[in-house]
Structure formats: structure tokens, C-alpha cells
Amino acid sequence: MKRIIIIGFLVFGTCLSAQENLVYAELGGAGPIISVNYERQFFQESHLNLRAGLGFYTGWYAGLSAPLGMYYLQDLNKGNYLELGMTYTLLLTGWEDNEPGGFFLPAIGYRKYSTKRKSFFKITFNPIFFDNNDPLDLLPWGGISFGTRF
């Protein structure tokens, strides 16, 4: 039991020592209409980031959504990154029968940090794969985001 507690503190401490936290607004993307997101670098020397947000969608129905995702950033040079990832967006409200639903969004995009690396911009292509029995039920989609890092 003592080992489990020590390992837990080491893993938790490593995650806390990560230096990259981001908050950003996204138009389109995983929201799928508009969302506010928090993203955290998983480990200090890693380019692996986790994302959680709260969004709004409209269409046949309107409601709240929660995009949850994981992204890998490939450093291209001087604040330019290739972004690869996967998000699952939970539809929290708005369905006719209020059954939980959602969809998958793979992402490929471009991310640019400012020269002081405090603010950033990103643009992504992320087709929506709906969570149903039809594997070809998809919608080409994209997003644009602006945010800050702390």
C-alpha cells in the first residue's frame, strides 16, 4: 500500500510540474459551433496534451456539449506546430429524448505560438464521425481557435 501511495504522488507531481496550460475559444471545431477549452501538457518534456471544454451546438437540436480530447504537437520550427489528435464530444443537452450522445472528431491542424509564446492561434480540419451504426455517417468540419498560455 505504501508503494502505491508513493507511486501515486510521483505520477501526480509529474503531471503538476508540466508547464503548459492553455485556455482558448474555438469557433467550429469540436464544440461544434463555439466552445471554451482548457488544455494541459501531459508531461513537461512531452508534446502530448489533454483537452476539456464546454461548448454550444445548434442544428436540428440545440444544447451544450463537452469536448474531451488528446493531441500530439509536432514541433516544425519557431513556434509552428503540426497538431494531430482525437476528440470525443459529448452532447449534454438538447436531444429530443435527452439520451446521451456524441461524436468523434479526428484532428489535423496547424498551431502557431506568438514570439513570446503566451498567445496562440490554431486552425484544424476535423471531420465529425457520428456515434451511430453507419460508419460513413460523417460531416467535413473545421475550427479556428485563439487563446493564451500560462
Per DSSP, the residues of 44-76 read: TT--EEEEEEEEEE-SSS-EEEEEEEEEEEEEE
Residue 91 burial by Cβ neighbours in a 10 Å radius (0-12, 13-18, 19+):
buried
Hey, where are the domains in the chain?
20-149
Average pLDDT over residues 106-117: 91
What pLDDT shows up at residue 4? Answer: 46
What pLDDT shows up at residue 131? Answer: 67
Q: How far is Cα 95 from Cα 68, in angstroms, rounded to an integer? A: 19
Average pLDDT over residues 57-81: 89
Q: Is the pLDDT of residue 42 over 90?
A: no
Span of 13-17, 23-27, 86-90 with lowest mean pLDDT: 13-17
Q: How far is Cα 49 from Cα 51, in angstroms, rounded to an integer? A: 7
Q: Name the percent of the chain lying above pLDDT 70.
A: 79
Average pLDDT over residues 9-24: 63
Return the CATH class of domain 20-149.
mainly beta
For residues 43 and 76, the model is more confident at: 76
For residues 94 and 34, the model is more confident at: 34
Question: Whole-number mean pLDDT of the chain?
Answer: 83
Residues in contact with 121: Cβ distance below 8 Å, sequence separation at least 6, in sequence order: 111, 112, 144, 145, 146
The pTM is what?
0.80
Residue 90 burial by Cβ neighbours in a 10 Å radius (0-12, 13-18, 19+):
middle
Average pLDDT over residues 96-104: 73
What pLDDT shows up at residue 100? Answer: 67
What region, left, alpha or beta, does residue 29 occupy, with left being phi > 0 and alpha being psi -120 to 50 degrees? left
